[in-house]
Amino acid sequence: MAIKIGLLGFGTVASGIPFLLKENGEKITAAAKDDFEIAKVLVKDDEEKNRLLAAGHDYNFVTNLDAIVEDPEIDIVVELMGRIEPAKTFITKALQAGKHVVSANKDLIATHGKEIIGLAKEKGVAFYYEAAVAGGIPILRTLANSLTSDKVTRILGVLNGTSNFMMTKMVDEGWTYEDALKTAQELGYAESDPTNDVEGIDAAYKAVILSQFGFGMTIDYEDVSHQGISTITPDDVAVAQELGYVIKLVGDVRETASGISAQVSPTFLPKEHPLASVNGVMNAVFVESIGIGQSMYYGPGAGQKPTATSVVADIIRIGRRIVDGNVGKSFNEYHRPTQLANPADVKSGYYFSLSVPDKKGQILRLAEIFNGEDVSFSQVLQQRGDGKQAKIVIVTHALSLTQLDNVKAKLKAQSDFTLLNSFKVLGD
């Protein structure tokens, strides 16, 4: 008798699940030791139901969640609706009804994951969400299973395909931020309101989840500092290239002596760094660990088939555990008390772009400010001024977040200095 599935939603990703179950049926059945059947599909209303039936989708479409959660024959509920509500309510009801749940909802998991995972544990059911980070890249299962014998020290990731597409256009073709965003929206990569993608919010959600799997600690979303790409100018891109770097929006989760830190920010990557070559809508996760050293996991971060592939992998794992009688284990079994890092322990190089009076002595003034916080220069570039203002670019050696805040405060206190941009630099 087949393991029955209830789908919540039938959008792009959800409609890819039947395709995979059919196309790879033999392999899936062998892995799960049973067949799968999509028993019911929840849709918004009768209008959507009739539209899908007319389009040739021959499934048992229902418009009431109870038709799924109260069906004793349905074992697994798959939530692919997106957004926090009503997804949170629906998942909660499914878990309370004793259903196993698969989701790709990073927003929900990052903000309410503790509660949902706790409920699943209480009910002795599975809650899996491989597709919530980097779509088609099996990074969570890799961290949870393949790297259990290793100690992860840092995770860097290009985690948002929309912002990475835009940065690729800005770097490779010299586009402005505005032109890149317009094209991304026209191609369907960016929403009409692109805030989550371009301001680093989406990547910050994923950083929360990566902190759980890589380090056993759950960072709250509010504790992930995030800066987006909207302030990056063609001048910043050109200077980065001149100095041997590529700008990417990078998530950075690391463990220091005092605890864990998570940031999302535009980052100057050395051109030879593996993440620097991740272009277009692709994602990649770069892991540093004491055993393997460095490893990178690369692939599409979104799309119907890549994301559906990760979702179906979760379905298979749950199905196999149902058959073996050991279902209910947490997706991630690595847990430690969460300890946030002291800002003084979180260190990186930084890029500063400043507008200063076009007269002698300005680099000396800057050197005094930075030296006062015990920060040294790695590179200094002074661009030709117009007789009134000149632009100076500084790349520092590693400084702490505490030093960074102090330097910025001192620069802003100078009435004739303007801090144009400041970004993290990987290296040093």
Q: What is the pLDDT of residues 123-165, one digit of tens each?
A: 999 999 999 998 889 999 999 999 999 999 999 999 999 999 9
The pLDDT-based confidence of 428 (bands split at 50, 70, 90) is low
Domains located in the chain, CATH noted? 3-136+304-324 (3.40.50.720), 148-300 (3.30.360.10), 343-425 (3.30.70.260)
Element (H, E) at 291: none
- DSSP class of 388: S
Sequence-separated (6 or more) residues with CB below 8 Å from residue 369: 407, 410, 411, 414
Q: What is the pLDDT of residues 230-247, one digit of tens each?
A: 999 999 999 999 999 999
Closest CA to 337 of 212, 224, 154, 156: 212
Prediction pTM value:
0.92
- DSSP class of 274: G
- Give, to the nearest 10 degrees, the angle between helix 106-123 and helix 201-215: 40
d(CA 144, CA 334): 8
Q: Quick one: pLDDT at residue 180?
A: 95
The pLDDT-based confidence of 4 (bands split at 50, 70, 90) is very high
Q: Quick one: pLDDT at residue 12?
A: 84
Q: Quick one: pLDDT at residue 396?
A: 97
**391 in active site:** no
- DSSP class of 74: E
Query: Dihedral, CA atoms, 257, 260, 263, 268, nearest 10 degrees?
Result: 30
pLDDT at 82 over 60: yes
Q: What is the mean pLDDT of residues 279-297?
A: 95
* Phi (first) and psi of residue 305, to 5 degrees: -70, -40
The pLDDT-based confidence of 386 (bands split at 50, 70, 90) is confident
Q: Quick one: pLDDT at residue 188?
A: 85
pLDDT at 301 over 90: no
Q: Quick one: pLDDT at residue 98?
A: 95
Do you know the residue count of the chain?
Answer: 428
Q: Quick one: pLDDT at residue 190?
A: 85
User: What's the 3-state SS for 201-225?
Assistant: HHHHHHHHHHHHHHHCCCCCHHHCE
Buried b (16+ CB within 10 A) or exposed e, 399-419: bbbebbebbeebbeeeeebee
pLDDT at 111 over 80: yes
The overall average pLDDT reported for the chain is 93
Which of 106, 206, 391, 424 is flagged as catalytic?
206
**Pairing assessment for the beta strands 127-128 and 100-103 based on DSSP bridges:** parallel
Q: Quick one: pLDDT at residue 1?
A: 72
- Residue given tokens 């939603």 in the structure block: 9
CA angle 163, 404, 290 (to 5 degrees): 70
Q: Quick one: pLDDT at residue 420?
A: 95
Cβ–Cβ < 8 Å for 289, 152? yes
Residue, of 301 and 89, whose pLDDT is higher: 89
The pLDDT-based confidence of 384 (bands split at 50, 70, 90) is confident
d(CA 94, CA 218): 24
Q: What is the pLDDT of residues 321-373, one digit of tens each?
A: 999 888 878 888 899 999 999 999 999 999 999 999 988 889 999 999 999 99
